[in-house]
Structure 1
Amino acid sequence: MAESGGNPFFSCRSCRNPLALRDDLISKKFVGKTGPAYLFSHAMNIIVGQKEDRKLISGVFSVADIYCSNCGEVLGWKYLRAYEPTQMYKQGMFIIERAKISKQY
């Protein structure tokens, strides 16, 4: 399990497994499958699922669902490829649904 080094971080709401540092939070203005979601530049202690093309609000992307490496909870997805030039900045980033995480200090 990765350590946060004393920095604020987000953890899995189900098992408290650290998932992302506060410093890696890019935006709180995204929407996941179940509601509000955050965009992160990095995530830790996750398992990346199978790649699939998915039609999202902002276009079609190749994505892979991400899961907590401890409890297996579906957390969101990783952007693998954007097909529209204006969306390329999302490639390699992670969507984690707000309902699946809690903030730790």
Structure 2
Amino acid sequence: MAVFAITYVYVSDDERLAEVRPEHREFLRGLHADGMLHASGPLPPTPAGEPGGALLVLEADDATDALRLLADDPMHRARLVAERSAREWVPVIGGFAH
């Protein structure tokens, strides 16, 4: 298994994002309890106007599998994720290092 940094870019719909957020977080807590998700948290909108999103760090066999693990994320299912990407990350120092 490898570690992947997943980034989400959310659509601009604060009301719907707030509505789905509790279910989204419960879904992620399940992945964490199963040992696949190491950490997650929001990426706030920037002062320059870049939209908000999220950063997730999880373990998977490959990038395709990493995104597949997140296919049932309520934010993704509700089409509130405008873009998402998975990139392998090789932590060498800190709590995520192997």
The two structures share one fold, judged by TM-score above 0.5: no
Q: With the length of structure 1 as denominator, give the TM-score of the two structures.
A: 0.23
Identify the structure with the greater strand proportion: 1
Identify the structure with the greater helix proportion: 2
Q: With the length of structure 2 as denominator, give the TM-score of the two structures.
A: 0.24
